[in-house]
Amino acid sequence: MSKFVLFFFFVLTILTTKLPITTTCEWSSSLINEYNVTHVFTVDKMNCGNYSTIQEAINNVPDFSVEHTLVIVGSGIYSYTFGVFATEFIAYNISFKNTFPPPSQGVKGAQAVALRVNGDKAAFYGCGFYGAQDTLHDDLGRHYYKGCFIQGSIDFIFGNARSLYEDCILSSIAKPEWVGDGGCITAQGQELLADNSGFSFLNCYINVTGKLLLGRPWRKYAKVIFSTTFMSDVVSPIGWNDKLKDDSVNQTIFFGEYNCKGPGAIRTSPPRAPFGKQLKDDEAAPYISISYIDGNEWLHQV
């Protein structure tokens, strides 16, 4: 079994300051004390670390360890297929990019995902996710994204996780002709009423190009909420769409907005889709803090 998919505490961070040529390759990180780290591995493409590849570092994480492991990654571009299947994975200041060009309208099955997150209790701080269609597969588990940059055009955040996105930039590269047919931020996949999943966006910022929807259902009980978020005019006036083209689904999905601002949040002519809801204070309350993802129980308070 790959060590990467075992249940270990794992922190991945990128060193943002380049080492001088005369350096003795000394590494340091405040995360060592903040997380009481036991194992520290360094990765550098210029042979200034313990390993030259991230995979080598992951391979050397002790099996079944309950101790904290920190992997510090030196500045550079590393080419991998990356997925998170472990519990308690944390990443700081690193970007995940799928370099495949945006697909043409109607194309299915093209290379798309930049990162898949399948493990429970995963957190990302100051990270970037770059792609076009299906950029971030926020698949399963409870996840927290703080101060991240997420780029895409078609369903670029999708999956069945229960996630809180706080202070994130959602950067559209959608094309104007895709309005109502492809340009879309979310495709949430809650399939059963009993599933406790959904995407909550808090104090985020939506901008850049094209026209796109806030969300459309991937499954029957899709749940997406945008709260106190700035929406530029890239957001389509109708706001939401029914990807499944099923009137009964309009009765089961939960699409909500709460105290959002900006030209894309204006709901006059044409009005928002009827199955999207403007939430009251009490309706929005469960989604606007880390308690939505049980964060008080597992998120590290720095």
CA dihedral 270, 288, 165, 102 (to 10 degrees): -10
Active site residues: 155
Task: Check residue 7 and give left, alpha or beta (phi > 0: left; psi -120 to 50: alpha).
Answer: beta
From the list 225, 291, 217, the residue with the least C-alpha distance to 259 is 225
